Homo-oligomer: A and B are copies of this chain.
């Protein structure tokens, strides 16, 4: 920066901890950068956003637009799945300042001979640029008119001709100010922001009660998953399970001989993280499953759980990867209040950490090589942030389509820290949000603060670890409400089934834990069962696919409605003019009604114009008019509306 640079660039956003972390975008989506840009005095300033795929040599430029109050914004399209660098340049535009002053004087009917001559330096600069022939002729004409003192003709040319556009196309950028903090954005594939997850335990997939399920059994269930509209199928770990310290039913520390143990206790004489539990099948079976799923539009998501059962091969081959106590033991893992006696934590700070980290990265790349592109990462908040940053960067170097979901239910700064470290998606507090106020507060925090630049929440009504109080013993209407909230508030959501849709909600008394949890035992389900919940799952997932507005989370806007039991929100996809109004009644037992306010101007609907709202759930249509319209929701038949809004 030169002393003569007069423009100040501040408050550039997205900017996470001054470029320490990259922001997140989506391939083919626009990416918008805002900044405060200002200078002393009253000269005209201008600014460009410069960007390029990281590692390239040539910056591309896009002009900033003035928003008012010294704020500016610029947008470019994330045209490939890569990291993009971006920086800001701004300058006093002496040429625009000159031209604007000239026009003002002309409009005031003043003499402009001096102004015209003052402009020669700017016109001569333009004459030297790579103009097209029309531009070249025009600029030459302006110069020669001034040089021959033809003030009136010169004035007319400069007033009516394209000089301002040419100046903007070829800015002098004299004494420009640059803001370059090494900022980056990563363009993920679409699934990073729009994904629909189904989780089940592959060992419970057998059609025969008491028999350990296999990958082949799982393959038979795929049509059902696809029919319900899920695009991501997540399995708890599929690796050999430790025998020593194996957990029994309900997490008992004393396992019986036929107990199958927790799949998160990875590692046994049969192998470790790069091996499969023999009961589930072979690598060939697994790859066949991956491929069959892919044909049905489903990606298989693996669990990435970095810990070792006591017989894990690493314990023998790499004892330095564990922290040994003075009695020759390793302290088992904990995630208070939970104790994992069947698991040894990895010692990430080991002096041998380079080899350790390399091996751990190689686990991910091994499964990527087998066809996996989605990982659900177990308890990442109990492993170092820098490790995740390293792992995700390393994996993305060769496979820019890999998605990492952070399974951390922890404190806000920890959850955010993991998202900043690079996780593509994050489990969220959705599971514990219940009231209208809580949802508005939480979604506002996720979508209207800096979190929108890096954190993509995934909403789960339940998980094997969380059987929330409000679902315990709850009827199907309550389940539907939670399903609807997850599927329409957030473009990323998932359920743990068939527990969810079959309303299996028995709990350990006083806890949000499933009784007889599948985490510790084989289960047998009637996989063919259909009910009102599976019908709504199928419908909602179909509607998510058909309506672009439901494929993003950050586009949410809450609508005023004077009833604390009703939550109403609007989502828009301007490109396809897809406008959705969701209205949901938290009261599963009583009819609730109210007047809901719509942001009409965003849809280009006039205040006195009639428009239609079509309920995609009930298939009923209504004519509405004006900002405020009446809604009534009568459970159990109609706990929510999902209106598609159209101009008549």
Interface residue ranges, A against B (CB under 8 Å): 1, 3-6, 8, 10-11, 17-18, 36, 38-42, 69-70, 113-114, 117-118, 120, 175, 181, 325-327, 329, 334-336, 348-349, 353-354, 357, 380-387, 390, 411-414, 417
The residues of B that contact A41 with a CB separation of less than 8 Å are: 381-383
| Complex Cα–Cα for A181 and B1 (A) | 19
A384 and B38 in contact (CB under 8 A), knowing A69-B413, A118-B326?
no
| Complex Cα–Cα for A70 and B18 (A) | 20
Q: Are A386 and B6 in contact (CB under 8 A)?
A: yes
The residues of B that contact A10 with a CB separation of less than 8 Å are: 17, 413, 417
Which residue on chain B has the smallest CB distance to residue A17?
B10
> How far apart are A378's CB and chain B's nearest CB, in angstroms?
13
7 A-B pairs with C-beta separation under 8 A: A3-B354, A10-B417, A38-B414, A39-B384, A40-B380, A69-B412, A70-B414
Which residue on chain B has the smallest CB distance to residue A177?
B386
Other than the given A69-B412, A175-B349, 5 more pairs (CB < 8 A) read A6-B349, A8-B385, A11-B17, A18-B181, A70-B412
Q: Are B413 and A36 in contact (CB under 8 A)?
A: yes
The residues of B that contact A4 with a CB separation of less than 8 Å are: 348-349, 353, 384
Q: Are B417 and A382 in contact (CB under 8 A)?
A: no
The residues of B that contact A354 with a CB separation of less than 8 Å are: 3
A40 and B181 in contact (CB under 8 A), knowing A325-B118, A417-B10?
no
The residues of B that contact A386 with a CB separation of less than 8 Å are: 1, 3, 5-6
Q: Are B70 and A117 in contact (CB under 8 A)?
A: no
> How far apart are A611's CB and chain B's nearest CB, in angstroms?
36
Q: Are B38 and A411 in contact (CB under 8 A)?
A: yes
The residues of B that contact A42 with a CB separation of less than 8 Å are: 334-336, 382
The residues of B that contact A326 with a CB separation of less than 8 Å are: 114, 117-118, 120
| Complex Cα–Cα for A336 and B8 (A) | 21
Q: Are A383 and B353 in contact (CB under 8 A)?
A: no
| Complex Cα–Cα for A325 and B116 (A) | 11
Q: Which of A354, A383, A384 has the most CB of B within 10 A?
A: A384
Q: Are B36 and A3 in contact (CB under 8 A)?
A: no
Which residue on chain B has the smallest CB distance to residue A120?
B326
The residues of B that contact A120 with a CB separation of less than 8 Å are: 326
The residues of B that contact A118 with a CB separation of less than 8 Å are: 325-326
Q: Are B327 and A385 in contact (CB under 8 A)?
A: no
| Complex Cα–Cα for A8 and B420 (A) | 11
> How far apart are A324's CB and chain B's nearest CB, in angstroms?
10
